[in-house]
Amino acid sequence: MGAQARPTGEWADVTPDAARRLLTAAVQSFAERGYHATTTRDIAGRAGMSPAALYIHYRTKEELLYRISSVGHRLALDVLRRAHDTPGTPAERLAEAVRRFVRWHAEHHTTARVVQYELGALGEQHHAEILALRRETDAVVRAIIEDGVAAGDFDVPDVRGTTLAVLSLCVDVARWFTADGKRTPAEVGDLYADLVLRMVGCRA
Amino acid sequence: MGAQARPTGEWADVTPDAARRLLTAAVQSFAERGYHATTTRDIAGRAGMSPAALYIHYRTKEELLYRISSVGHRLALDVLRRAHDTPGTPAERLAEAVRRFVRWHAEHHTTARVVQYELGALGEQHHAEILALRRETDAVVRAIIEDGVAAGDFDVPDVRGTTLAVLSLCVDVARWFTADGKRTPAEVGDLYADLVLRMVGCRA
């Protein structure tokens, strides 16, 4: 899994090619120096373009951050929704959701860090949109946990707090994960799926 | 608990007063705009001093970040060590460690965010020192978990991975915690202590 290959997969739906290259360059620049220390000139230069060429695709630096955040949140949410809709017991669905969500955050850790750490730099309208996506993410995980409680498979005294903790645990993988570490994204996913089933008091 | 009161407690051992005010100003500036977008002039201005006055206390911006990171890591490590040395069963000590560590990260969330997110901006020597403190932090939690396994109280197939996950869960409180949220630092600490005892398969 080369570092070069990742952005293509992550931003595959972004067209044209120049817009995609600019997003990739923006993620790398924001990750290295932070949003506020990065200029649109830095991003254009990194993508091998002129600043003027950047403005054809994105009006402002904030729009680049918003696109990164929006795509990142939607991809991670899709991963959870697919696990939610999978047939199986609540325990199987929760384990699958955690496995996939953790893998996503490990494999896309640079994007995930930018998305999580630069939330405060979004404009008001964009911030509200992203918060709505975060509430949906929370709702998908909470629904699986509630299914498990209703089925008598899970023992969870505080469903909201446990949902928050499960998502926090998975998201924070992006902070500490490095590609040259001891564990692969899939191995972290398996470990975390087991830990989360313990957190919900799974009787299986 | 006023926002103004916190820095005093956190940096209480830093003297003289001007050096402490500069650290507080640096934490706020780094948290708002990121390390790379902040100048020593910004920090001095926020502390009500001239840039020249700043250089009496700190040679570089990196030295400010290093002091913040060093003090932050040492305070959090002390919190864990006190829990480790408390008399009691491994379950009681682990619950106490998590309770205190989580409270620290909730109450000092601005400092903790700077400490965690700007690690890559430290110079080589300082980075190595901070990594050593992080390994000590890891070792304290791992020791309590190993005590529990040895006593037959915990069931942990992967002690290193579980230690990593427990610390990650607690540290990430700094990312999402806000003083105007629904839960107090103590309430999050209690919830997390229970979740972590579940993660280690505590039979109690």
| Domain residue limits, chain B | 62-199
Provide the pLDDT for residue A4: 45
Which residues of chain A make contact with B194, given a CB cutoff of 8 A? Answer: 157
Provide the pLDDT for residue B2: 40
Regarding predicted confidence, which is higher, B7 or A30?
Answer: A30
pLDDT of A38 > 50? The answer is: yes
Q: What is the mean pLDDT of residues B158-174?
A: 98
Contact criterion met (CB < 8 Å) for A165 and B116: no
Q: What is the mean pLDDT of residues A19-31?
A: 96
pLDDT band for position A204 (50/70/90)? low
Homologous superfamily (CATH) for A61-199: Tetracycline Repressor, domain 2 (1.10.357.10)
pLDDT of A2 > 50? The answer is: no
- Nearest chain A residue to B157 by CA distance is A191
Provide the pLDDT for residue A8: 52
Nearest to B168 among A35, A172, A199 (CB): A172
Provide the pLDDT for residue B204: 65
pLDDT digits (tens, 9 = 90+) for B110-126: 999 999 999 999 999 99
The CATH number of the domain covering residues in B62-199: 1.10.357.10
Contact criterion met (CB < 8 Å) for A172 and B175: yes
Secondary structure class of A89 (helix, strand, coil) = coil
Going by the DSSP 8-state scheme, the letter that residue A157 receives in this structure is S
How many residue pairs from chains A and B have C-beta atoms closer than 8 A? 77
Q: What is the mean pLDDT of residues A176-193?
A: 96
